[in-house]
Amino acid sequence: MNDRNVEKKNSRLKRSRRVRARVKGTPERPRLVVFKSLKHVYAQLVDDTSRKTLTGVSSLKGGLNVSGNRTEKAKAVGTAIADKAKELGFDSIVFDRSGYRYHGKIKALAEAVREAGLKF
């Protein structure tokens, strides 16, 4: 990695820690954590009070056979995590974008979660 990429990653991690100091997932309203790589998108529901991951979905595994671009994969992950959250009995969540900008894959995932019926 060159210096610019390291600087960008460190800045994102700083933003993530700063936001995570305020945003907490509870048993009634878990935190939806998003991570993205160059090819895939990952989402998890986390209860911060008990420090447990409740469920997770990724475009890499889990039966999401989505062809197309990465934004379409993010939409599929958003719909899948919303369905799993409803199965667990949640209707409201806290969104943690992990320091990423709210556009592209992150925005597509968030909009898919909202369309599936979860509230932020």
User: Which one has a higher pLDDT value, 23 or 115?
Assistant: 115
Position 109: which residue type? L
Among 20-24, 61-65, 81-85, the range of highest mean pLDDT: 81-85
What is the mean predicted confidence (pLDDT) over 72-76? 93
DSSP state of 117: T
CA torsion sign for 86, 84, 103, 10 is positive
How far, in Å, CA of 89 to CA of 47, rounded? 14
In the beta sheet, which residues pair with residue 94? 31
pLDDT at 51: 93
> What is the percentage of the chain residues whose pLDDT exceeds 90?
78
CA torsion sign for 87, 92, 97, 101 is positive
β 52-58/31-36 pair status: unpaired
Is the pTM above the cut of 0.95?
no
DSSP character string of 31-98: EEEEEE-SS-EEEEEEETTTTEEEEEEESSSSS----S-HHHHHHHHHHHHHHHHHHTT-SB-EEE-T
What is the mean predicted confidence (pLDDT) over 5-32? 92
Structural domains in the chain? 3-115 (3.30.420.100)
